[in-house]
Structure 1
């Protein structure tokens, strides 16, 4: 069993649900979160927001899944990201579970 976590901007919520369903991951949890990016190190010309701190409406999904389903999801997320025209991407991570009950 693995812990799968997916983060993205809130606009991708329905897309992520579709990817999970396509990969037969039917049990998951999700919640809204605030994404944060510190832009204080970027030059003013590269910083479109003209401020040091940028927050965005984001979402995080998590699920306990078998490794095989996680691999399928990673492939689907890569394909989804490759097709996006936005700079924002879906990020997925997979963590080992040492113990559970």
Structure 2
């Protein structure tokens, strides 16, 4: 068993849910988060208050699942990201679980 964590901009939430379904990952949790980048953007430098930076609406998904389903999910995410016209790819990491109850 491993922990897979996936982040994406809010606009891709439906796509991530579909990828989880295709990978047969049926039990997972999600949360709305704000994504931040430290690099100054044109929007931040042109605002009235350039020192105040807002985050991008994003979503975080995680699931405790087996390696085979994670491999399938990674393949699906790679395929999805290869079709993007923007630089907001879906990102995923895997964390091994030493113990669980």
TM-score (norm 1): 0.88
Structure 2, gaps ≥5 residues long: none
Q: Is the 8 A contact 1:38 1:54 kept in 2?
A: no
TM-score (norm 2): 0.88
1:95 match: 95
Question: Structure 1: which 4+ aligned runs deviate by more than 3 Å?
Answer: 51-54
Q: Provide, for residues 60-92 of structure 1, a one-character-per-residue CA deviation record: whole Å limited to 9, x for no partner.
A: 000001001000100000000001111101000
Q: Provide, for residues 8-54 of structure 1, a one-character-per-residue CA deviation record: whole Å limited to 9, x for no partner.
A: 100100000000000110110001001111125xxxxxx32214635
Structure 1, gaps ≥5 residues long: 41-46
1:48 match: 42
Secondary structure of 2:75 counterpart:
helix
1:69 match: 69
Q: CA RMSD for the aligned pairs?
A: 1.2
How many residues matched?
A: 95
Q: Is the 8 A contact 1:39 1:54 kept in 2?
A: no
Q: Distance in 2 between matches of 1:68 and 1:54?
A: 37
